[in-house]
Amino acid sequence: MDRKEHNYKNEEAILQHCRLLIECDKMDQALITITNLLSINPKNVEALFMTAFILNRKDKLNSAVRIYRRIIKLEKENIPAMLFLGDLYRDMGYMEKAEQCWINVVKNTKCDDLAEIALNRLY
């Protein structure tokens, strides 16, 4: 097993552990673990999603927005990140920003179900 494969397996184990912590509503522990993982691999999109989810649950909406924007910067057409970012903007009262995110989902997705979800949020 080479180093890259070993690192991947370690990251997967850490992510699985974080999923379990989140399921058990141990958000603080999960956030610490994810933060440690992100210090090693700051481009791990799944870890970033978990971070944004936890921050949203902890009502740290501005921080969650920054994380979703970071995901989109890493993956320009990350449809779930665009959708969730739009939801956060809506929750924060920024309807124009929310609508722009949802419009981007409709324009960029190849999945009719996700486009329909975004359209339903628009109207």
Cα–chain-centroid distance for residue 87? 12
**pLDDT tens-digit readout, 2-53:** 555 556 688 999 999 999 999 999 999 999 999 999 999 999 999 999 999 9
How much is the mean pLDDT over the chain?
Answer: 92
DSSP one-letter string for 23-78: HTT-HHHHHHHHHHHHHH-TT-HHHHHHHHHHHHHTT-HHHHHHHHHHHHHHSTT-
**pLDDT tens-digit readout, 99-114:** 999 999 999 898 899 8
0.95 surpassed by pTM? no
- Cβ contact 63:48 at 8 Å: no
Average pLDDT of span 69-93: 95
Nearest-angstrom CA–CA distance, 88 and 109? 19
User: What single-letter amino acid sits at 10?
Assistant: N
User: What single-letter amino acid sits at 31?
Assistant: L
Region at 25 (left for phi over 0; alpha for psi -120 to 50; beta for the rest): left
Residue 43 structure tokens: 């481009």
- Model confidence at 95: pLDDT above 90: yes
pLDDT of res. 9:
80
